[in-house]
Structure formats: structure tokens, C-alpha cells
Amino acid sequence: MVVAPAGTPTSREVTRTSIVPVTLSGANYRRAHDAHHLAAGLWDQAVDWVHAEWRAKHNPGKYDIQSFITSIPREKRPLHAHSTETIAHDLHEAIKTSRSNRKNGMLVRTPWRKKNYRPLSFSKGYGWRLRPDGKLNLSLGRGRPGIVLELPKVIDPVTGELISHDLWGEIQLCWDIDNRQHSLHIPYKTRRQVSAGETITTIDEGIINPMTLATWADNKTIDITIINGREARAIKRQRNKAVSGLQRKLSKCKNGSYKHRRLVAAKKRFKGKARLQLRDFDHQVSRKATDHVIAHTTGRLVVGDVRGIERKTKQRRRMGRHGRQQLSQWSRGVQEKYLAEKTGLELEHLNESNSSKTCPACGARNCPSGREYRCKNPNCGFTCHRDAIGAINVFQKAIHGDYVPIGPDVVICVTNLEAVKRWSVHQSEAHHMVQCRKARALSSAQNRASAEATWQSKPKLANSSTSSSKPDPLVAVP
Ligand SMILES: [Zn+2]
């Protein structure tokens, strides 16, 4: 890692992926649909072949898998050569990942499941190119018609600039199963401000407040940023309720019936929407944490280690049903990944046992109840936000190796941030009242208009009272 002089955040070239929803119609949709299924079929064949090789005591490498797939006759794999190669490389990567995971003690299998649908990859210049009429062509191999789309607009969310197609890399065409929509995943290179310096920032993670960051601003001040995550709790709760309600209804109807299909579609819709919202939430949390990290020119990020807490919650039985659900739906790992990507720093993990119990002023251990920490030591009486305590203690441990008490005259500056802004009860009530007033005004205006119209059209109606058609109240009769 390049360490710049303290006080100057640097920028670094990074790859971002933009996800652009696209709508395919007619022949393009059918071509994409068939190609997705075919790619899945090739994957299945390659998986079967690899398993047969293992049974014969061979260990095929990346290029062995590739040469097996390319040995399938060309007319049986109507895809672009690069797209088929990607399947082989992805399979090799998946095998490698499963092996390293097993080495780390996880119970995983090498790829074995039959696939129905696989994303398609199109390399730059060969797989995808711009047609003379300005449209995007995704090639399905020489001599076959490709998938033609309008050129999508890719906007960098940080700078707000339009990214030219010259900067795009390998495009993937994917199918979002929950939102039932195609999307293009377009990677591009951009510069991003990253943190560099000597300061240490520590992070305490939690379910209610996803991240609490602590940094010594100077010798006498600790800056704390608490990022509140009530929005995520609301999204998850709403989703869990909706899904469990649908699941209850699903259990009562016949598999494959019309109602069953409708309910499954509704479930997917709920889950898809919640997934997009939670993805945004995780990005917002890591963005706010990154702002703190860059503002303090941090060079080292230390996180209280809670990895693996979400696993095996059922066997451990330390909490109630709802607590366990909250714990296993906690997206801590994703937020850490985003934070590492955004700051350009590597996260160090530190054992954080008792960090939220130990008083940072006197070192006594208390069991906090509620969100406020109060030291029960009669000579101390220290009070602070509960999550801030965790972050300060992790900080002391990162520097001194233990929970060394901070001095008595240290000022703790707490900043509360909301990960996603949501209206307060007061705001939403006010909005609701305005909407009601508008609706009332509109309906009374409509009533007045229709009353006038009927009053004007009354003589006409009297003449042609036999006509069965309903008179349109808003059309004035000449
Ligand atoms: Zn104390």
C-alpha cells in the first residue's frame, strides 16, 4: 500500500460495475432466453465431465475444462467463443473457491447442482460492439444474428459523469429472477478518492447501528460517528412479514395451480424489491463510514471481530426466534466488503469480547441495558452512547493491547447519522394531510364539473332518454 503524507487523501483507479436494467423484446428476447439456457447446459456438461475426470483420478485445470467445452461441436454451442470460455473459467474459479473454503473448515461441496439459466459474458471488441447505427450488438457467434439493444447510459454515481462506451469492459447479460427483468452489468474504470495516512480508526458493528467509528481527532478529543440503521430493520421486517404471510397461504394451495403461481410471483416481487433496497442501504452505510475515514486521513482500519456470529444460530440457541432471525439476516460482511473497496484499506479484525461492557473511564465491567451506557462504579458515573463505548474500547485495545482507560479530561464528540433518510412520523403525517386535502379539492372540483355538465346536458338527456349509453359527465354537450 502506498502511504501518502498525512492530511492528503489520494485517489486510486478502481473498477466499478454499473447495473443497467434493459427490456428485450421479440426476437432479441427469444435469442437471449435460448442462449441463457444453452449456457446453463454447457455448464452442466462441464460439471459432469469434471466429476468423471475426478473419478478417473485426474485433476483437470482451467485450460483442460476450456478445451473440453470447445471440443463440443460448434453447432451444439451457438454462443460466442468468449462466452463459452468464460463458462470454463467460472467453473474453475468455483472449484478453487470451494476447495479453499473447505480448507477453512466450511462444509461446502464442489459445484454439482444442475443449472437452468446462466449469465452470458461478452468481451470487449469481440463479444460486444457498437453497430454503425449506434446500437449495441451482443454477439452470439459468427454467422448468427446477435442480441441488439439501445446503447445504455452509464453514469458514474460519484462524479455524475456519463461514462463513454470506450471505457467499458466485459459486459454480462443477466436475468434478475426476483424482479423478472434482464440487466446489463457493465464494468468501467474510474478514479476514486481513497484514504491514506497514519491515523487509526476503529469500528464497532451492530444490528441496530451497523457501524460506529472512533478516531482520536487530537490528544484530548475522540470523534465518534454512529450510523443508524433503522431503515434496514424496517425493510427486513416488512419483507419477513409479507413473505411469511404468503408462505402460509402457499402451504394451503395445490402445487402448480394458478393461485400457487400467483403467490410465488408475489413472493419474488417482495423479495426482489427488498433486495434492491438493502443493497442501497449497505452502500449508504459504507459510504458514510468512508466519509469519516477519509476526513480523518485514516491509514489503519480495525474492526471488532464478530465474524461467524450469524452462523449456526439455531444450534447455539442463545437468543429467541426473532433475535436469531435478525442475526442471520445481518449483512455485516457485505458492508465490510464495500467499506474496504471504498476506502482502499484492508480491514483488520480484533477480538472484541467485553468491549461493550467495560467502562472506558475506569475499566469496571457493567452490563448495559438500553442504548445508554452508565457506569455503576460510584466513583466514576461515566455515561455515553452504548455503541460508542465498543468503538473506544476496540481503539484502546488496538493501540495498547488491552482495554486501557482513557484520561478523565477526554472529550467525546458523538455525531449521529442516518444511513438512509426517512421521514419522521411528524413529516409523514403532514405529507398525508396535504395529500388528503389535494384529493378532496380534486374530487370536489370533479363533482362540480360533473354537476355542471349534467345540468347543461339535462335537456338533451330528456330528449334521448331511451339511449342506453351512460352520459359522459365531463363532455359538454353543444
Ligand atoms: Zn466507570
Looking at the structure of the chain, the number of domains it has is 2
Domain membership of residue 224 as a residue range: 195-418
Last residue of a domain, one of 168, 193, 218: 193
Cα of 382 vs centre of ligand 1, distance in Å, is 5
Q: In this structure, are residues 176 and 271 in contact, taking their beta carbons and an 8 Å threshold?
A: no
Is the same domain home to 148 and 215? Answer: no
Tell me whether residue 437 is in a domain. Answer: no
Cα of 47 vs centre of ligand 1, distance in Å, is 60
pLDDT per residue over 65-87, tens digit each?
999 999 998 888 889 989 999 99
**Helix, strand, coil content of the chain in percent (nearest 5):** 45, 20, 35
Grid cell 467485553 — which residue?
354
pLDDT per residue over 157-176, tens digit each?
777 889 899 999 999 999 98
User: Which positions ≥6 away from 389 have C-beta within 8 Å?
Assistant: 355, 356, 358, 359, 360, 368, 373
Is the same domain home to 175 and 250? Answer: no
Q: Write down the pTM of the prediction.
A: 0.72
Over its C-alpha atoms, the chain yields an Rg (Å, rounded) of 30
Last residue of a domain, one of 137, 158, 193: 193
Is the same domain home to 243 and 387? Answer: yes
Cα of 360 vs centre of ligand 1, distance in Å, is 7
Is the same domain home to 225 and 161? Answer: no
Is the same domain home to 213 and 185? Answer: no
Tell me whether residue 303 is in a domain. Answer: yes
What is the overall mean pLDDT for the chain? 85
Q: What's the average model confidence in pLDDT over 210-232?
A: 90
Is the same domain home to 226 and 140? Answer: no
Cα of 358 vs centre of ligand 1, distance in Å, is 8
Cα of 378 vs centre of ligand 1, distance in Å, is 8
Cα of 357 vs centre of ligand 1, distance in Å, is 10
Instruction: Tell me: pLDDT of 423 over 80.
Output: no
Is the same domain home to 117 and 258? Answer: no
Cα of 350 vs centre of ligand 1, distance in Å, is 23
Tell me whether residue 465 is in a domain. Answer: no
Tell me whether residue 226 is in a domain. Answer: yes
Nearest to 118 by CA among 99, 94, 141, 135: 94
Q: What's the average model confidence in pLDDT over 15-24?
A: 89
Is the same domain home to 187 and 255? Answer: no
Tell me whether residue 475 is in a domain. Answer: no
Residue 202's φ and ψ, nearest 5 degrees, are -115, 150
Tell me whether residue 448 is in a domain. Answer: no
Is the same domain home to 235 and 123? Answer: no
Cα of 412 vs centre of ligand 1, distance in Å, is 15
CB within 5 A of ion ligand 1: which residues? 359, 361-362, 364, 375, 377, 380, 382
Q: How far apart are CA 323 and CA 321, in angstroms?
A: 6
Q: What pLDDT score was predicted for residue 419?
A: 82
Tell me whether residue 476 is in a domain. Answer: no
pLDDT per residue over 115-124, tens digit each?
999 999 999 9
Q: How far apart are CA 109 and CA 120, in angstroms?
A: 24
Whole-angstrom distance between the N-terminal and C-terminal Cα of the chain?
Answer: 81
Cα of 411 vs centre of ligand 1, distance in Å, is 15
Q: What pLDDT score was predicted for residue 342?
A: 87
Which grid cell is 458?
339535462
Last residue of a domain, one of 193, 210, 234: 193
Is the same domain home to 140 and 236? Answer: no
Tell me whether residue 274 is in a domain. Answer: yes
Q: What's the average model confidence in pLDDT over 385-412?
A: 86
Is the same domain home to 134 and 207? Answer: no
Is the same domain home to 222 and 260? Answer: yes
Nearest to 175 by CA among 334, 16, 18, 22: 22
Residue bearing the bigger pLDDT, 298 or 456 = 298
**SS3 at position 224:** strand
Q: In this structure, are residues 267 and 243 in contact, taking their beta carbons and an 8 Å threshold?
A: yes
